[in-house]
Amino acid sequence: MRIRSSAREVAERWSLVLAFLGAFVFFAVARPNSFLTWDNARAILDDSSVLCVLAAGVTVILVIGEFDLSVGFVAGLAGAAGVSVMAFHGWGVGAAVAVALGAAAVAGVASGIAVAYVRIPSFIATLAVGSIAAAVELAITKTAIFEGLSSSYVQIATTRVWTIPLRAIIAAGVVLAFLLLLRTTVFGRHAAAVGDNSAAARLSGVPVERVRVIAFMLAGLAAGIAAVLVTSSATQYYPNLGTGYLLPAYAAAFLGLSLGGGRRFNIVGSYIGVLLLATVTTGLTMMNQPSWVAALVQGVVLLLAVASVSVRRGGTIGR
Amino acid sequence: MAGSAPTWLEAVELTKRYGGVLALDRASVVACAGQVHGLVGVNGAGKSTLVKCLTGMVRPTGGSVLVDGRSLPLGRPVDSLRAGIASVPQELTVAPTLTVAENIMLGHEPRGPFGWVRKREARRRAKDALASVSLDVPLSAPVGQLPLIEQRLVMIARALSFSARLVIFDEPTATVSPHEAALLLETVRSLAARRVSVLYVSHHLREIEAVCDSVTVLRDGRIIADLERATHLTLVDLLAPDRVSEPRVVREERSPREVVLEARSVWGPRLRDVSLAVGAGEIVGLAGLAGSGARELLLTVCGAAPFTDGSITLGGRRLRSANTLFAVESGVGFLPGDRSLGTFPSHTVRHNVALPSLSRYARFGLVNSRAEKSAVATLLDRVALRAHTEAPITSLSGGNQQKALVARSIGSNPRLLLLDDPTAGVDVATRPEIHAQIRTLSDAGVGVLLVSTDAEELAELSDRVVVFERGAVTGELTPDVMTPARVLAAMTGHPLPAVRQPKEDR
């Protein structure tokens, strides 16, 4: 027996890739001299690296059928924790990164426990954890801005490997790691099963609670990595550095849904979703459009993408 | 619904086709004022479809409904309600935080200017409706805080508040105590006394006998009998054959059997002092209607429901209350017929089948997909399922999805297999294949607990059948008296010793 799929299904499945290519071609024709350059491609990769990492974390949460609204706040907390141990205690770069990732992972585990064991709906649990994370962040930094971070810390973002920014390579590495995690490991399969049918997963012997906690920890970890990338490239820490990333991270993941047949959130889809958003933003900026146009186009694209999937599925998304 | 009472509603040759399946095939019923009409049939016989055609939840493919000689527009709940057809659903569909009055008047509140609700008028009408079911509860009490039986009476009052001329009851006594069931039957009779027509859908044949003036029996979407005054055993005869259609496999007795599962005096929310043992290679059938405790025991053993007292031991390990993971790790496999509890609809056949046994194909947490694929292919072969391992599970027919789940059960190497209506919704051809697989597993020493709403299935597969009623074990049928008809009689509450004389010649 062969797996049959209609031409329409194929078209729908690849609609995201087509949209990305379409946007790329559009801007390449409109601004051949500035858009279609190696510098620009590099800039898009570089600019989107933070979002890539956050979107990968968010995708894991969506795969288990939950929401994590705390990722932006957790990134802020992680940035504050990492930078402040360097500034206040003179710790090294490695230790600072470890502290940042540790703080983010702890926040993720807290959300995970609240969702998995206390059974608080993830939507509200992660709002609460996010609020606490934001509070702790401000308590650590007293709303100060830390400038003049050590050059070795800044190099995390600015180093170039064969002209490619290290930041983009790290982001690609994280995306690849999450991809392999979801695709090839027992955890990945368990996570997908929990998201698809948690009752059946439980009856199949999947440790549902543990899977949920690990997923939230991974999302926290991703937020921590994102925080390191943000602070090192900005060469400074500023309060609430992660708040602007929440919406585009979810937008990217939902754009990627079409690549999973409209049912499965997937890392590759989220990654292409991020690239699409970054391309549109960059391209519109090059065409001298005001920044609200980019936000408008992103919103419309997201609505269309999700609506097409939703209509086909009879009104349910990602379930 | 014959008799002298005037007929005011006629459903004529209602037909409903879902894809290639005829769920309802030219079924006609009539409603007469003040008459209680029963509707019986095994699961999937078309009862719910018929009810949904009448209430407008489903638009029939063919046929018509005449109310006072005029044709009723079909497929629109509003029109059915206006014509006086109201139903009391099986599941409680009250809005628990709203008050009694608000629940009764929900959707047909008397309106004042600017869309205001005329509260006094609403309360007066709600009060009238409550009086007609003789229920005395405060109109302003939140419905969710009332006992279940009163919630159900509120729903009946709600049905009546639409000036209903036909009230449809769908399995109204499934989850209530005997006393409450009696109360509900009393309410049904009082409705009839007020010239309301009642359509009473139930598996409880004893209740049908007690309360119905006439009965329609459905099988495979078709009406096979229209009876005046049916007795419990007449209905059993119509619903279940005397013999099993699959020849019983005579199996050699293993002695002494190693005990796989032992439940001792288990108490739970819906279980009362249940004791039961399953030996290795033994198939124990559990017979009982919804809420009887049969299915509840299954869910308790696999950790999906809690127990409060007593003990459950599986292969020497004492199971913990409401701990599914522990139960599965101790060797419990679960095969539901309700595929919403079994399949992962967004996933491939391979992912669906391999899930419980993933650790066997994995090293350091990494799944070896080649080993997994070949193992899944072998399992699919064993259940004679010709399907691509990478096909989406939802691309398979219902019967083939069920085969895939059987393959999953086999792959997980259970010591005890729990079957919950394992062939529900499965086509006629696939059913014996699934049964054969279950027998094969049992021959290999797996203990099996089988819950089924299908008396024939229980009689075909079980080594013995344990009968449940209202949460407790009320008896046991041994193979020599295990005809489908007897199993059905027992599971619908016929006293066990008085089961009719065996007709078979052995």
Interval B203-233: pLDDT, tens: 888 889 889 999 999 988 899 889 888 888 8
What is the C-alpha separation between B361 and B368, in angstroms, rounded?
6
pLDDT, tens digit (0-9, with 9 covering 90-100), for A54-83: 999 999 999 999 999 999 999 999 999 998
Percentage of chain A exceeding pLDDT 70: 94
Measured CA angle at B288 (ends B286, B293), to 5 deg: 80
Cβ distance B437 to B383 under 8 Å?
A: yes
- CA–CA min distance A206, chain B (Å): 7
Q: How far is A233 from chain B (nearest CA, A)?
A: 35
**Contact between chains at A192 and B344 (C-beta distance less than 8 A):** yes
- Across the range B443-461, mean pLDDT stands at 90
CA dist B442 → A205, B335, B394, B412 (Å): 21, 14, 29, 14
Q: What is the pLDDT of residue B499?
A: 43
Query: Among all residues of chain B, which has the CA nearest to that of A180?
Result: B366
ipTM: 0.83
A197 and B412 within 8 Å at the Cβ level: the answer is no
SS3 B486: helix
B297 CB within 8 Å of a chain A CB = no
Query: Which pLDDT band holds residue B263 (cuts at 50, 70, 90)?
Result: very high
| Count of beta carbons in the 10 Å neighbourhood of residue B177 | 14
What's the whole-number mean pLDDT along residues B485-496? Answer: 81
pLDDT(B255) > 70: no
pLDDT number for residue A281: 86
Question: Measured between CA atoms, how close is A219 to chain B, in angstroms?
Answer: 19
Do the Cβ atoms of A186 and B408 come within 8 Å?
A: no
pLDDT, tens digit, 9 for 90 and up, residues A243-288: 888 888 999 999 888 887 777 899 999 999 999 999 888 888 888 8
Of the pLDDT bands very low, low, confident and very high (cuts 50, 70, 90), residue B260 is very high
Cα–Cα distance measured from residue B407 to residue A59, given in angstroms and rounded to the nearest whole number: 31
* pLDDT tens-digit map of A173-207: 999 999 999 999 999 999 999 999 998 999 888 99
Instruction: Mark yes or no for CB contact A206/B347 under 8 Å.
Output: no
Interface of A with B (CB under 8 A): 1-3, 184-187, 189-190, 192-193, 196-197, 199-208, 260-261, 263-264, 319
CB B65 within 8 A of CB B54: yes
| Residue B478 near chain A (CB below 8 Å) | no
The mean pLDDT value for B337-344 works out to 82
Contact A196 B346 (CB under 8 A): yes
Q: Please say if the pLDDT value at position B503 is more than 60.
A: no
Q: Are B467 and B437 in contact (CB under 8 A)?
A: no
Task: List, as own/partner pairs, every contact residues A101-105 make where C-beta atoms lie below 8 angstroms and the sequence separation is at least 24, other chains included.
Answer: A101/A221, A101/A224, A101/A225, A101/A228, A102/A224, A103/A77, A103/A78, A103/A224, A104/A74, A104/A75, A104/A77, A104/A78, A104/A220, A104/A221, A104/A222, A104/A223, A104/A224, A104/A225, A104/A227, A105/A217, A105/A220, A105/A221, A105/A224
pLDDT number for residue A311 = 62
State residue B1's pLDDT score: 44
Q: What average pLDDT does range B37-66 have in this prediction?
A: 90
Average pLDDT over residues B226-249: 78
The stretch B40-48 carries a mean pLDDT of: 84
Check if CATH label 3.60.70.12 holds for domain B259-491. no
Report the mean per-residue pLDDT for chain B: 86
And the tokens for A269? Answer: 């889809």
Amino acid at B489: A
The region, left, alpha or beta by phi > 0 then psi within -120 to 50, assigned to residue A50 is alpha
Mode of pairing for the β-strands spanning B21-32 and B7-18: antiparallel
Contact in structure between A178 and A170 (CB atoms under 8 Å): no
**Which residues have C-beta within 8 Å of that of residue B343, sequence separation ≥ 6?**
A197, A200, B352, B393, B394, B401, B404, B405
Nearest-CA distance B349 → chain A (Å): 11
For chain A, give the mean pLDDT: 87
Fold of B7-239: Rossmann fold (3.40.50)
Q: Test B395 with A3 for CB contact under 8 angstroms.
A: yes
Contact B367 A3 (CB under 8 A): no
**Residue A222: pLDDT band with limits 50, 70, 90:** very high
How far off is chain B from A199, nearest CA to CA, in Å?
6
Instruction: Spell out which residues of chain B touch residue A192, defining contact as CB-CB under 8 Å.
Output: 344, 346-347, 351
> Are residues A186 and B367, on separate chains, in Cβ contact within 8 Å?
yes
| pLDDT score recorded for residue B253 | 61
Q: Which residues of A touch B302 (CB under 8 A)?
A: 203
Is residue B377 within 8 angstroms of chain A, CB to CB? no
Statement: residue B265 has pLDDT above 90: yes
Q: Which of A184, A185, A203 lies nearest to residue B324, judging by beta carbons?
A: A203
Question: What values do phi and psi take at A265, rounded to 5?
Answer: -70, 140
Q: Each residue of B64-98: pLDDT tens digit?
A: 999 998 999 998 988 998 899 988 876 666 788 88
B345·A200 Cβ contact <8 A:
no
Residue B36 has what pLDDT? 94
Q: Which of residues B373 and B500 earns the better pLDDT score?
A: B373
Q: A193 vs B347: CB contact, 8 Å cut-off?
A: yes
**Percentage, residues of chain B above pLDDT 70:** 93
Question: What pLDDT does residue B496 have?
Answer: 61
pTM of the model: 0.81
| 8 Å CB contact of A3 and B388 | yes
- CA nearest neighbour of A248 among A215, A281, A219, A283: A281
Nearest to B262 by CA among B420, B416, B465: B416
Per-residue confidence at B248, pLDDT binned at 50, 70, 90?
low
Q: Of B54, B8, B5, B13, give the one whose Cα is nearest residue B31.
A: B8
Read off the pLDDT band of B501 (50, 70, 90).
Answer: very low
Work out the pLDDT band at A4, boundaries 50, 70, 90: low
pLDDT exceeds 60 at position B254: no
Considering only the beta carbons, identify the residue of B356, B367, B390 that sits closest to A204: B356
- Between CA B58 and CA B60, with CA B59 as vertex, the angle to 5 degrees is 110
C-alpha span between B173 and B206 (Å, rounded): 12
User: If residue A77 lies in a helix (H) or strand (E), which one and from where to where?
Assistant: helix A71-89
In this complex, the residue of B342, B365, B392 whose CB is nearest that of residue A200 is B342
Cis bond leading into B256, ω under 30°?
Answer: yes
Q: Of A183, A204, A208, which to mutate for an interface test with B (greatest number of B Cβ within 10 Å)? A: A204
- Measured between CA atoms, the residue of chain B closest to residue A264 is B346
CB pair distance less than 8 Å for A186 and B366: yes
Question: Which pLDDT belongs to residue A34?
Answer: 79
The rounded distance, in Å, linking the Cα atoms of B202 and A22 is: 59
Q: Which residues of A touch B324 (CB under 8 A)?
A: 202-203, 205
Report the gap between the CA of B342 and the closest CA in chain A (Å). 5
d(CA B156, CA B137): 14
| Residue among B302, B344, B367 minimizing CB distance to A185 | B367
A194 contacts A65 by C-beta, under 8 angstroms: yes
What are the CA-CA distances from residue A188 to residues A161, A182, A206, A215, A218 (Å)?
Answer: 31, 4, 11, 9, 12
How close does chain B come to A312, measured CA to CA in Å? 14
CA distance A65 to chain B (A): 12
- Residue A313 pLDDT more than 60? no
Reply yes or no on whether the pLDDT at A315 is more than 50.
no
**Domain boundaries for CATH 3.40.50.300 within chain B:** 7-239, 259-491
